[in-house]
Structure 1
Amino acid sequence: MFSWEAGVRKIVHVDMDAFYASVEQRDDASLRGRPVVVAWRGARSVVCAASYEARTFGIRSAMPALRAEKLCPQAVFVPPDFVRYKAVSRQVREIFARHTDLIEPLSLDEAYLDVTRNKQDLASATAVATAIRDAIREETRLTASAGIAPNKFLAKIASDWRKPDGQYVIKPARVLDFLAPLPVAKLPGVGKVMEGKLADLGIQTVGQLRAHGLQGLERRFGRWGRRLHELSQGIDEHAVESERPTTQVSAEDTFAQDVTLEHTTEAIERLAAKAWAAAQREGDRSGRTVVLKLKTADFRILTRSHTPPTPPTSLQEVVAIALDLRSRVELPARVRYRLVGVGLANFRRHDELPPQPGLF
C-alpha cells in the first residue's frame, strides 16, 4: 500500500473479467474451461464477449461471429442474455456504493470510482480496490480487475495491466516513468488515424510524444496538440461524473439480408419508436436532434442529422424527419445496406429550450 499526497485524487477503475462469458461459465458448469463465445450464430452476428479460453484463439469482442467460428471451430456459442448480465451488474454497483457515491459507469462491466474519501475509512485506494474485488468474488462468484491511479485515464490503463483477477497501482511519483515506454495508442482519443499522423512525425511512444514538446504539437494539431501534451505528462482533470445526463438515445438493427435504401422504411419506423420511447423516460429533458445512421454492405457508415427549430413532439415527427434524412443519402440506388439506426441527440432541459414560435 502507499500514501497519496494531499490534494491528489484517488481513482479506481474496476473492470469485470470477460464479463458476459464469465457469467455463462459461472451458471453452466459444462462451459467452464472451454472456449465460450457469447453471440448469436449466423452471418450477421458479431461477438459480444469471449472467454479467456476463446481469446487464446484470437477471438475478440465485435468480431464477426463467422470469423470467430473459423478461428476456433470447437468454440461453444451461447446467445447473450442481457437480463441476467444487468442483474449481476446491479449487484456489482451495490458493492461499489458501499465505498463511494462517486461512481461513473461506463458499461455493464466497468466503472470509475473516486475513492479520495471512502465510506469504509480504509487506509488507501489500494485497500478499497482489494475490498471491492474480494466482495465481487464472494458475492457474485466472478472476478474483476482494478487499476488505481491519480486520474481516470491512468486508472483505466492500469486495470488492464494484471488481467484477469488482478490490480495495479500507478503511484503519482511514477506516472511519468510508467507512461514513457507505452505506445501512443494507449492514450485516450488516439485511434488508428492519429497514431499514423504521430508516426509520420517519428512519434510512437508516449515518451517521444512528451519530448516533441507543447509548441510542436500545438502547431501540428491545434488544441488537440495541447491535450496530447497533457496526456503525455499524465495530466487529466476530468472528474468522476456520478450522474451524467443522457446526451443521446438510439436504436439500431442489422438486417438478415442486405437491402436497398427504399426497403429500410419499416425498420426506420420501428427503430424510431424505440428511440422515442427511450426519450420519453428522460422526463423534463428532450432531444433536439434526430439522427439517422446507415451502414452499407461494405461496412461504410453514413450518418445524417437534423435539428428543427423546436424539439420533435411526437413519434410521427421523428419518423418524418428520419425519412427526410434518408432522402439526403446520395449514393447510387443499387447500394445495399446491412444496418440502420435512428436516434435522438442534443438533449436539453425544457427550461433551456428556445420558446416555440407563436402562430401570429
Structure 2
Amino acid sequence: MEYRTILHIDMNAFFASVEQSAKPELRGKPIAVVGSGHRTVITTSSYEARARGVKTGMAIWEGKRLCPELEIVVGDNKKYQHTSTEINKIFQDFTPEVEAFSIDESWLDVTYSLKMFGSAETIAYQIKARIRHLFDITCSIGIAPNKLLAKLASDMQKPDGLTIIKPEDVAGVMERLPIQDLCGIGKKMQRHLNLMSIYTCGELGRCDEARLTRKFGIIGRRLKQMGQGIDDSPVIPFGEEDEVKSVGHSSTLERDIDDPVEIRRFLLQLSEMVGSRARRYNVAGKTISLYVRYADFFSSWGKQTTIKRHTNQSDEIYRTAVGILETVDLEQPVRLLGISLSNLQHEVEQLPLFEDDRKKLEATKAMDSVNQKYGNMVVTLGSLLPGKEKRGSHVIPPSWRPDGIKKVDVK
C-alpha cells in the first residue's frame, strides 16, 4: 500500500509570538493579546502566561488575577495576516500542495518532494529553521500518513516540537488516545460518544458502524474511520478549493446595542464588506442571510430571503438585510451581527443597460479600487459615518485564507 506523507504545521502561540518577536522587551514575559474594543477577551497568550493558567477566551481581569504581571498587548491583525502569508510562501518552496487550515495552521503534502529533499523530517527541520531565522518564532510540526494524524501529531509536542507517526504505529497511537484529541470531535460530540461508553479512539474504531450511523446519521462511518486513524481527504492547494457557495462576514460588537439606528449602521458596514469581496471575485447572489446573536450570548436567530435577481451591490444587500430585521422584534440587545450572500452566480460582470446603473457601477468600482489600495472602509456609502466608535470589533475569522475568495481582509 502506498502512503502519503503529510505535514501539519502549527505556529506556537502565533499572535503572542509575533508580538514578542516585534517587541524584544516582551520576550520571556507573560503577555496576552487582546482586541481593540471596549469589550474584549484574551485572544491568545504566550507560553509564559499559559504556564500561569492564562487561557484564550478569558476576560482580562481573570488573566490579571492569575498572573498580576501579565502584559496586555492590543492585537495587530494586519501584522499577523502578513506574517502568515509570508510563512505560507516558505511552504510552497517545498511543495505546491499547501492548504491553509487557519491563519496559524497549514497542511503540506510532501509525498512527491521526498526525492528532492531526502525525507519529511529534513523538510520539517528546514521549515523550522527558516521560520525561526526570518520571523524569530517557532512552530510544531506533525508528520503522518494523512491530515487527521498529522494534525494530531503536531499537538503532541509544544512548543517547537516535531512528532512523527509512522503507518505501522497508527493502531498503537489510537488505542488509548482520548476521542477529544481528534480534530473534529468537539465537546458536544464528545458528550454524545461518552454516553455511548466511547472514551478512546480505540473504542470508537471498534464500535459497530451501524450503531454509530443510527445515532449520528451519515457521519457515523466517518467517525469510525477517525477512531481508526483513517483519513483519505486530500490536501487542497490554494485556488483549487471547491467552488465557493457563499460570501459572508460577521462582527462581535464592542458593546451590546439595541438602538435601531446603530444596528443599521453596523449592517451597512457588513454589507459593504460582503459586497466588496463578492465584486472582487466576480460573483453575485440571490439569497441574503442575516444572523443575530443576543447579549446573553446563548440566544440567536438567523433568517434569509431570496430576491429576484443576482446582486453584489452593497446597498441592495443592506436593504434586504434591513428588510429581514424589520420582520423581527428584537428580544434583547444585540451582541453579534452577520450577513452572508449565497445562491451564487459566478462570472457575472456585464454592462448595465441603463445609464444610472452604469454610473452606479463605475462609482462602485472606483470605491473598491480605493479601499483595496488603502484599506477597507476608507471610502464607503455616505450614510455610514466614519469613526472607530461606530465600528465593530474586527477579528480574524476561521474562514481566513492567505489568498482567493475565502480571504477575509482584516484591520
- TM-score, normalising length from structure 2? 0.78
Contact 1:287 1:346 in 2 (8 A): yes
Give me the whole-angstrom Cα distance separating, in 2, the residues matched to 1:89 and 1:23.
Answer: 10
Instruction: Give the alignment of 1:93-108 within 5 angstroms.
Output: 93-108=88-103
Contact 1:44 1:64 in 2 (8 A): no
Task: State the match for 1:349 in structure 2.
Answer: 346
Contact 2:248 2:340 in 1 (8 A): yes
Q: Greater relative contact order: 1 or 2 (C-alpha under 8 angstroms, separation 6 or more)?
A: 2
Amino acid at match of 1:135: R
Give me the whole-angstrom Cα distance separating, in 2, the residues matched to 1:292 and 1:67.
Answer: 33
Instruction: Give the alignment of 1:271-310 within 5 angstroms.
Output: 271-283=270-282, 285-300=283-298, 301-310=300-309
Q: Deviations over 1:110-167 (max 9, x none)?
A: 1111111118712222221121112111222111110111111111111111110011
Contact 2:6 2:147 in 1 (8 A): yes
Q: Helix, strand or coil for the counterpart of 2:42?
A: coil
Residue 158 of structure 1 pairs with residue 156 of structure 2 = no
With over 3 angstroms needed to count, the CA separation of the structure-2 counterparts of 1:57 and 1:69, relative to structure 1, is same
Q: Helix, strand or coil for the counterpart of 1:311?
A: strand
Give me the whole-angstrom Cα distance separating, in 2, the residues matched to 1:232 and 1:10.
Answer: 20
With over 3 angstroms needed to count, the CA separation of the structure-2 counterparts of 1:256 and 1:313, relative to structure 1, is closer
Amino acid at match of 2:340: G
With over 3 angstroms needed to count, the CA separation of the structure-2 counterparts of 1:222 and 1:252, relative to structure 1, is closer
Give me the whole-angstrom Cα distance separating, in 1, the residues matched to 2:171 and 2:305.
Answer: 44
Give me the whole-angstrom Cα distance separating, in 2, the residues matched to 1:348 and 1:188.
Answer: 33
Task: State the match for 1:40 in structure 2.
Answer: 35
Following superposition, the deviation at residue 254 of structure 1 comes to 3.1
Residue 339 of structure 1 pairs with residue 336 of structure 2 = yes
Task: State the match for 1:138 in structure 2.
Answer: 133
Task: State the match for 2:406 in structure 1.
Answer: none
Give me the whole-angstrom Cα distance separating, in 2, the residues matched to 1:120 and 1:15.
Answer: 24
Task: State the match for 1:269 in structure 2.
Answer: 268
Following superposition, the deviation at residue 246 of structure 1 comes to 4.1
CA RMSD of aligned residues (A): 2.2
Amino acid at match of 1:337: V
Corresponding residue pairs, total: 343
Give me the whole-angstrom Cα distance separating, in 1, the residues matched to 2:321 and 2:63.
Answer: 34
Q: Helix, strand or coil for the counterpart of 1:117?
A: helix
Following superposition, the deviation at residue 232 of structure 1 comes to 1.1
Residue 87 of structure 1 pairs with residue 85 of structure 2 = no
Q: Deviations over 1:163-208 (max 9, x none)?
A: 1001101111111211121111223332222211111111111111
Q: Deviations over 1:248-296 (max 9, x none)?
A: 433333333312273411111121111111221112x334432222221
Moved more, 201-210 or 79-88: 79-88
Amino acid at match of 1:238: S
With over 3 angstroms needed to count, the CA separation of the structure-2 counterparts of 1:143 and 1:235, relative to structure 1, is same
Amino acid at match of 2:291: K
Task: State the match for 1:354 in structure 2.
Answer: none
Give me the whole-angstrom Cα distance separating, in 2, the residues matched to 1:224 and 1:305.
Answer: 27
Q: Helix, strand or coil for the counterpart of 1:98?
A: coil
With over 3 angstroms needed to count, the CA separation of the structure-2 counterparts of 1:289 and 1:68, relative to structure 1, is farther
Give me the whole-angstrom Cα distance separating, in 1, the residues matched to 2:345 and 2:247.
Answer: 13
With over 3 angstroms needed to count, the CA separation of the structure-2 counterparts of 1:72 and 1:97, relative to structure 1, is same
Following superposition, the deviation at residue 36 of structure 1 comes to 0.8
1:191 to 173, 186, 195: 186
Q: Deviations over 1:282-332 (max 9, x none)?
A: 12x334432222221110233223344542242222112211222344553
Contact 1:41 1:77 in 2 (8 A): no
Amino acid at match of 1:114: D
1:117 to 112, 115, 128: 112
Give me the whole-angstrom Cα distance separating, in 2, the residues matched to 1:60 and 1:312.
Answer: 42
Q: Deviations over 1:205-260 (max 9, x none)?
A: 11111222212212222211111111112111110111225444333333333122
Contact 1:100 1:119 in 2 (8 A): no
Give me the whole-angstrom Cα distance separating, in 1, the residues matched to 2:41 and 2:342.
Answer: 26
Contact 1:44 1:254 in 2 (8 A): no
Following superposition, the deviation at residue 46 of structure 1 comes to 2.3
Amino acid at match of 1:155: A
Give me the whole-angstrom Cα distance separating, in 2, the residues matched to 1:40 and 1:220.
Answer: 40
Contact 1:147 1:168 in 2 (8 A): yes
